[in-house]
């Protein structure tokens, strides 16, 4: 296990008391892409800041290859991409300094390699304030890779990007996996996660609802013609072949595909 999260609890005690995390436990295997999905306000950013070591939990433990994320050893093992990096002003002064301080141990050669990796060699001389959101996200990903850490923690890396920007960032994340990196990223957009991750955790109201492997879809959507009409049904993986045989006897199959709304359903499970 590269990352072990055990029973993390966090309550913000400002004017209003917000119980942001109510006991979250997860563990990540080396080399996997892990999606952390949930609606706004679910507690994703809070957990990510705790994993990055810039926010302390009230209780619970985090270990990155056995190290606490608040130690220098722990920080060397992870790269961090904060939520909305164009608004670094939204971080507290301390958070911002801690963030900058984590950017250590680089050589010029490393930087050139990183610029190539994120496709920003040509734009390397341009001011970041002139970058598009996608370019900004990519330079921040490059930042996270300084020091070549095995674990990358990205908070909403795909949010607010146009389709091309999303494709670029997805490609980079896939490339990281190919190089043996472990990526933990959050998103409130289900489709992003489905395409990228090996496993996903669903978080709602500060609790993990479920951890799911996405290698094999659990459900399929079958569309077929029956008496000239297009019918859509959804079946469990176990019943797929049986159902297809049945349809073949009476109708004409139009398409069969993994159910895209599977994760949406998972999110809804605890709503009722
Ligand atoms: N610094 C803070 N002070 C008080 N409440 C906060 C703070 N940061 C987040 N919260 C609250 O904690 C909950 C979880 O927030 P957050 O972790 O940002 O969720 P997410 O990233 O999933 O949108 C929300 O109700 C949010 O309003
Ligand atoms: Mg957030």
Atom of ligand 1 nearest to the CA of 12: 4
Residue with tokens 């996997």: 32
Residues present in the chain in total: 272
Mean per-residue pLDDT, 3-8:
97
Nearest atom in ligand 1 to the alpha carbon of residue 46 is 17
Reduced DSSP (H G I as helix, E B as strand, rest coil) percent helix, strand, coil of the chain, to 5: 35, 30, 30
pLDDT at residue 183, rounded to an integer: 98
More confidently predicted of 14 and 217: 14
Residue 252 CB: number of other CB atoms within 10 A?
11
Say how many C-beta atoms besides its own lie within 10 A of residue 152's C-beta.
22
> What local confidence, expressed as pLDDT, does residue 272 receive?
41
Q: What is the mean pLDDT of residues 12-41?
A: 94
CA 152 to ligand 1 center in whole angstroms: 21
Query: What mean pLDDT is predicted for residues 30-45?
Result: 94
- Name every protein residue with a CB atom under 6 angstroms from any ligand 1 atom: 12, 14, 18, 20, 38, 40-46
Q: From the CA of 42, give the closest atom in ligand 1.
A: 22
Ligand 1 centre distance from Cα of residue 18 (Å): 8
- For residue 107, pLDDT beyond 60: yes
Please tell me the number of the ligand nearest to residue 205's CA.
Answer: 1
**% of the chain beyond a pLDDT of 70:** 86
On the question of pLDDT at 261 being above 70, the answer is: no
User: What tens digit of pLDDT does each residue of 182-209 get?
Assistant: 999 999 887 788 889 999 998 988 888 7
* Residue of 205, 199, 197 lying closest to 157 (CA atoms): 197
Q: Residues 36-59: what's their mean pLDDT?
A: 95
pLDDT at 121 over 90: no
pLDDT of 179 > 70? The answer is: yes
Low-confidence winner among 2-16, 25-39, 161-175, 207-221 (lowest mean pLDDT): 207-221
Per-residue confidence band for 153, with pLDDT thresholds at 50, 70 and 90 = very high
pTM, to two decimals: 0.81
Rounded Cα gap, residues 51 and 98, in angstroms: 13
List the alpha helices (DSSP H) in the chain: 44-52, 72-76, 93-101, 108-117, 133-145, 163-178, 190-196, 240-250, 262-269
Whether residue 172 is predicted with pLDDT greater than 70 in this model: the reply is yes
Average pLDDT over residues 98-122: 74
Atom 2 (ligand 1): residue with closest C-alpha?
A: 12
Contact 234, 241 (CB under 8 A): no
Question: 210 CA distance to ligand 2 centroid (A)?
Answer: 19
Atom 18, ligand 1: residue with shortest CA distance: 45
Spacing, Cα 57 to ligand 2 middle (Å)? 16
């Amino acid at each position: 296990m590269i990352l072990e999260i055990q029973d993390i609890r966090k309550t913000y005690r400002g004017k209003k008391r917000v119980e942001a995390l109510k006991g979250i436990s997860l563990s990540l295997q080396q080399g996997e892409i892990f999606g952390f999905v949930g609606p706004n306000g679910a507690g994703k950013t809070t957990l990510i800041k705790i994993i990055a070591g810039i926010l302390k939990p009230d209780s619970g433990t985090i270990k990155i290859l056995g190290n606490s994320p608040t130690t220098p050893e722990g920080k060397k093992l992870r790269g961090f991409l904060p939520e909305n990096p164009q608004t670094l002003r939204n971080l507290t002064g301390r958070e911002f300094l801690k963030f900058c301080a984590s950017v250590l141990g680089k050589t010029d050669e490393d930087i050139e390699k990183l610029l190539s990796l994120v496709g920003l060699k040509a734009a390397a001389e341009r001011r970041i304030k002139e970058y598009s959101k996608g370019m900004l996200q990519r330079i921040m990903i490059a930042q996270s890779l300084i020091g070549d850490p095995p674990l990358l923690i990205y908070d909403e890396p795909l949010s607010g990007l146009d389709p091309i920007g999303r494709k670029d960032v997805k490609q980079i994340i896939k490339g990281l996996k190919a190089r043996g990196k472990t990526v933990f990223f959050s998103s409130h957009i289900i489709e992003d996660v489905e395409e990228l991750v090996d496993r996903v955790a669903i978080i709602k109201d500060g609790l993990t609802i479920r951890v799911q492997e996405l290698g094999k879809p659990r459900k399929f959507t079958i569309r077929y013609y029956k008496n000239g009409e297009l019918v859509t049904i959804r079946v469990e993986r176990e019943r797929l072949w049986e159902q297809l045989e049945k349809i073949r006897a009476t109708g004409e199959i139009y398409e069969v595909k993994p159910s895209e709304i599977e994760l949406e359903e998972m999110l809804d499970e605890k709503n009722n």
